[in-house]
Amino acid sequence: MDLSTLRKTAREELKGYCRVCPVCNGRACAGEAPGMGGMGTGSAFTVNLEALARVRLVMRTLHNVKEADTGLTLFGRSLSMPILAAPLTGVVYNMGGRLTEAEFIRRMIDGAVAAGTLGCCGDGADPTMFDSGLAAITAQDGHGIPFIKPRGQEAVLALLARATQAGAAAVGMDVDGAGLAVMALKGQPVSPKTPDELRACVAATPLPFIVKGIMTPDEAEIAFAAGAAAIVVSNHGGRVLDHTPGAAEVLPGIARAVKGKGVILVDGGVRSGADVLKYLALGADAVLVGRPLVVGAFGGGAEGVAFLLKKMQAELKAAMLLTGTASVGQVSSTIVSLHP
């Protein structure tokens, strides 16, 4: 498999819903939500890349690091890299519908597992979205993470029970999906959660609980105080609120506030292994990658997803060697500098 062929096939299969741009920065698809773009002006999508671009890696080549170790243990699972496949749904209205929801998420989960890491699945107005993701995770002996929308409490608790029964590695709630209008239009309203409601959700499952959509230190504190095992610093890919800051802008402050209280994950704008290392240096333990893996799934199936993940892993290793970083568990903040 080669990148050029994968991208060419994906461009044909995605039928213009995703242009498979040379750089996936949200400009060609600005405002296309549904679609692959960001809400409104699309600035919340593009700012994720812009914020990461302002973070520069400090190159060092006079040191004793000869090998770079990208392995880590997350939620009790040994992973080959600190890069997970992010939860994505809505194949019909976001990606053109050449694949079914079940086909798409199976490719994502299987590809992530083939690359030695975890894939996530999502939730949405159509029950087949969550059902398909859970089936794909079950087929991989629980090697995946389902995320649930911030629905009413009873609905959330029912889905948590199913995730628990499936033996998933962890379970999450993307609280940043609280403003998704399509859910309300389909008679399945979502809304913000109070700290007490979040605490009840966390208590309802023995699985490690992840709160996705954290953008401030105080809400990170609230999530961990409620018993969450992890947070995801995320603006939902710029798809729910225009003009938000990029994840790389807010991550350092969040990490300073809650480092050591639980796992810190982040998503938004990751396009290379160098981007992964930047996020780790800013305080994350691992990252989630979304839109680029859509290209892998449509362009090359599970093999395409694994190919892109392994490519990022190789880039991460190269960046680690050239910054004197021996292990992803020991990334120093001194290997990055911020430029306006």
**What's 212's DSSP letter?**
E
Where does the chain show beta strands of DSSP type E? 55-57, 72-74, 77-79, 83-85, 119-121, 144-148, 171-174, 209-214, 230-233, 263-267, 286-289, 336-338
Q: Is residue 42 a part of any domain in this protein?
A: no
Using the predicted structure, report yes or no on whether residue 307 has a pLDDT greater than 80. Answer: yes
Calculated CA dihedral for residues 292, 296, 298, 301, nearest 10 degrees: -150
**What's 69's DSSP letter?**
B
Q: Is residue 277 a part of any domain in this protein?
A: yes
Q: Tell the residue number behind the tokens 């948590």, with chain if given.
A: 160
Question: pTM score, two decimals?
Answer: 0.97
For the chain, how many structural domains are there in total? Answer: 1
Give whole-number Cα distances, 124 to 15, 87, 93, in Å: 22, 11, 12
Give the bridge partners for 323, in sequence order: none
Quick one: tokens of 171? 């379970």
Quick one: tokens of 192? 């913000």
Looking at residue 314, what is its pLDDT? 98
- At residue 31, the 3 state secondary structure works out as coil
CATH number for the domain that contains residue 140: 3.20.20.70
Looking at residue 242, what is its pLDDT? 95
| Across 211-215, 276-280, 336-340, least confident range | 336-340
pLDDT average, residue stretch 268-293: 98
Phi and psi at residue 93, to the nearest 5°:
-95, -10
Give whole-number Cα distances, 30 to 9, 37, 45, 97, 166, in Å: 23, 5, 8, 20, 37
Amino acid code (one letter) for 148: I
CA–CA gap between residue 207 and residue 228 (Å, rounded): 10
Looking at residue 186, what is its pLDDT? 77
Q: Tell the residue number behind the tokens 């060419």, with chain if given.
A: 8
pLDDT average, residue stretch 205-231: 98
Looking at residue 187, what is its pLDDT? 82
Looking at residue 46, what is its pLDDT? 97
Contact 298, 99 (CB under 8 A): yes
- Chain centroid to Cα 57, Å, comes to 22
Q: What are the tens digits of pLDDT across the range 26-58?
A: 999 999 988 999 999 999 999 999 999 999 999
Q: Is residue 40 a part of any domain in this protein?
A: no
Looking at residue 125, what is its pLDDT? 87
Q: Is residue 270 a part of any domain in this protein?
A: yes
Contact 168, 144 (CB under 8 A): yes
Quick one: tokens of 324? 């004197």
Q: Is residue 175 a part of any domain in this protein?
A: yes
Q: Tell the residue number behind the tokens 């029964």, with chain if given.
A: 165
Looking at residue 184, what is its pLDDT? 74
Q: Is residue 272 a part of any domain in this protein?
A: yes
Q: Is residue 65 a part of any domain in this protein?
A: no
The whole domain housing 129 covers 3-14+71-327
CA–CA gap between residue 253 and residue 258 (Å, rounded): 9
Report the first-to-last Cα separation within the chain, whole angstroms: 38
Q: Is residue 194 a part of any domain in this protein?
A: yes
Contact 162, 222 (CB under 8 A): no
Contact 23, 303 (CB under 8 A): no
Q: What are the tens digits of pLDDT across the range 95-149?
A: 999 999 999 999 999 999 999 999 999 999 888 999 999 999 999 999 999 999 9
**What's 259's DSSP letter?**
T
CA–CA gap between residue 279 and residue 103 (Å, rounded): 31
Q: What are the tens digits of pLDDT across the range 153-206?
A: 999 999 999 999 999 999 999 999 887 767 877 788 899 999 999 999 999 999
Using the predicted structure, report yes or no on whether residue 243 has a pLDDT greater than 80. Answer: yes
